[in-house]
Amino acid sequence: MKKIEHIGIAVKDLNAANILFAKLFGKQHYKVEGVEREGVQTSFFMMGETKVELLQATNDESAIEKFIEKRGEGIHHIAFAVDDIYAEMKRLEAEGFILLNKEPLPGADNKLICFLHPKSTGGILVELCMEKG
């Protein structure tokens, strides 16, 4: 894994969170993007070489809706950039980590992504992401 690509934060209200985090960071988000498959609306802030992704659920089945119900708003996942997501998924599966998808999926911000179950990663939801190119 190369670096932290972004930190995902679950929020109840994306518009309100965009205002709050813009005040906190002293800058505006640079994009808003929906990922229909995941039932989320996201916004991104550029923070030097990494990013912060805010995520709001768009339906009751969304992982973000369930997370907020159980734990409230807050840090939801840490995403790590990888050069070759296929090789990294193979390596991590062989190491005994639980992959939440067998093949990389299209994610927000022009990425191919794969999640690892937090039960296998010390309680942290880890996302691998590779630039689609």
Whichever of 3 and 129 has its CB closer to ligand CMX, that residue is 129
Stretch that binds ligand CMX, among 23-31, 44-52, 86-94, 112-120 (CB under 6 A): 112-120
Q: Using CB under 6 A, count the residues that bind ligand CMX.
A: 20
126-131 and 111-116: which strand pairing?
antiparallel
Contact 7, 75 (CB under 8 A): yes
32, HSE (Cβ side, Cα atoms, 13 Å): 7
Contact residue for ligand CMX among 77, 89, 112, 114 (CB under 6 A): 77
Nearest to 55 by CA among 73, 69, 71: 73
- Interface residues with ligand CMX (CB under 6 A)? 8, 35, 38, 40, 55, 63-64, 66-67, 70, 76-77, 100, 107-108, 115, 117-118, 123, 125
